[in-house]
Structure 1
Amino acid sequence: MRKTSLLAGLFLIVLTATGQAEEAKPFLTNTDVDLTAILPSPPANDSAKTKAEIAEVLTMQLTRTPEMEARAKADAEENVWRFADVMGPKFTKETLPKLDAFFERVAATEGAVVDPAKDTWKRPRPHMLSDMVKPIVKPSTSGSWPSGHTTVGTMMGIILSNMVPEKRPEIMARAWEYGNNRVVAGIHYPSDIEMGRISGAVIASNLQHNAEFEAEYNAAKAELRADLGM
């Protein structure tokens, strides 16, 4: 029995070291929140709306500054640590393990809810309809509607601001920038961002009724507020 336990422990260590550890489990999936029953369908590829949005993306491509480009590239990461610039220097992965694990599950929830909706609508991204669009982040061919980055950024903003209401205005402004940076990066249309914000708010609201979420939220909140001296 002891030998079996030792082997199991070694196997777990190997998996972790090779990056094959168990992925974060979502709190909800698309069976709990069906975005196809909530959001409208995206504009047609040849519609006046889509053509106007491609023009907006191209205008941004011409007017974005090097600083805007740098922030948009950095915001390609989907994790809560992108909020460090408004949360302060103590907001680090190393000092907040419970918060880190909690938000990994929040991010997994976004994928479990949003990806099936993207696959249903299959809206082509701007660079797929116009070769004039040059994304400054890794190009993607997954569905564009709604923006997954914006969805998770909105979710993270809402949840973080509930944990630290003292910083709510700064946190939500950062969440809005996180979404806007997908247009700056040339990888989404403005309406994708709007739908992502709606999706993020809807999912965040539904999470409030999930017992697992509530338990992990309370533990992560306590850890965060203690770390920030609040």
Structure 2
Amino acid sequence: MKMKHRKRTVLLLLTAAITGLLVSGFQSKRGSIQPLEPVSQHYKTLSTWSLKPDNRRAWMDTVKFPWSEYGKGAQGNMLWRTVYLSPEDEARLPELIRVPANSSDQTRAELDYMLQVQQNRTPKEIERARYIANIGSWPNILNPEDPDYYENRQQLFYIATAIGEWYNDKNFPATTALLLKCIQDIRVTEFRLKWYFKRPRPYHLEPALKPLAKINSPSFASGHSLWAFAEAFIFAEIIPEKRAEFLKKAEEVRWSRELMGIHYPSDNEASRIISWHLLQAWYQNPTFVADLEKAQREWRDRKLSY
């Protein structure tokens, strides 16, 4: 028992050290950016398990994301260019996160957790998760005659719904312009990371999982969690006093991906970390800083009008 306790303690210390390394990847030119919140909830517990391959489950390491399921659109999205994110900073992103091996103790623990979530999920939770699954903006919907154009712009403000319906794309055009540029960087990052890691979905490794949807791109990292947390951090730069509410909304988004059976918890935690690093990297770009300042002024000037 003492040996097990000692191993567990060492793993916890390693997790803390790794977290410290991850959140120090970029040095922002702006020193007042709030540090990334510590890992919490089940993500903290699951992260204490080993990420290394385990020979007892070696067959799992032979499983790859099936090419037959890889959508052409998902591959094509990698070809977009970033706006604020420099090629140098983008190249560093894969170094900041670690993918657990398919056969690792952590992956097994995550799959067991997801099976438990599947067993306990309620019809109301399923309905909510499916609703969230349809949320998310895209940078290539630019034509006002496109039937998705207005909804695409409105959904940029989903994470900030706690502010009120008046906080939207029509009333805050400078904020909308900022978010549209950021979402392009977010989507490029999402699909290039998926291509880089090509992690199979949880249901590829665990036949007992019954996902609420099948996704045509690899699992790591979660696109929904990436945009949710990135937007939460952006809105927190505009309205700092509402940071907790923005992050709560982002937490619901990442929870929904696990409840649907389509993302490992480590996919979602990686997206939270990467999104924070995106903000750090964006601050290296004077154009982003100028656009953010416009959005901040817009908020100060217009908030009292609603």
- TM-score (structure 1 length as normaliser): 0.79
Residues 137-159 of structure 1 show CA distances to partners (whole Å, capped at 9, x for unaligned) of: x4213221222221221111111
Q: Return the alpha-carbon distance in structure 1 between the equivalents of residues 204 and 167 of structure 2.
A: 38
Contact 2:160 2:235 in 1 (8 A): no
Query: Any gaps of 5 or more consecutive residues in structure 1?
Result: 1-22
Cα shift at 1:30: 5.1
1:178-193 residue pairs with structure 2 within 5 A?
Answer: 178-193=253-268
Secondary structure of the residue that 1:142 maps to in structure 2? coil
Which stretch of structure 1 is more off in the superposition, 160-169 or 86-95? 86-95
Alignment counterpart, residue 274 of structure 2, candidates 193, 199, 202: 199
Cα shift at 1:36: 1.8
Contact 1:90 1:227 in 2 (8 A): no
Determine what percentage of the aligned residue pairs are the same residue: 30
* 1:15 aligned residue: none
CA RMSD of aligned residues (A): 2.3
Q: Return the alpha-carbon distance in structure 2 between the equivalents of residues 28 and 157 of structure 1.
A: 18
Which stretch of structure 1 is more off in the superposition, 164-173 or 125-134? 125-134
**Residues matched between the structures, number:** 206
Is it true that 1:78 corresponds to 2:136 in the alignment?
yes
Contact 2:83 2:181 in 1 (8 A): yes
Residues 100-126 of structure 1 show CA distances to partners (whole Å, capped at 9, x for unaligned) of: 232121111112223222212111111
1:77-226 residue pairs with structure 2 within 5 A?
Answer: 77-79=135-137, 80-136=156-212, 138-226=213-301
Contact 1:161 1:171 in 2 (8 A): yes
Q: Which amino acid aligns with 2:209?
A: V
Q: Which amino acid aligns with 1:113?
A: T
Change (3 A) 1:84 1:163: closer
Cα shift at 1:84: 4.2
* 2:106 aligned residue: 49
Secondary structure of the residue that 1:133 maps to in structure 2? coil
- TM-score (structure 2 length as normaliser): 0.61
Could you list the runs of 4 or more consecutive aligned residues of structure 1 that deviate by over 6 angstroms after TM superposition? none
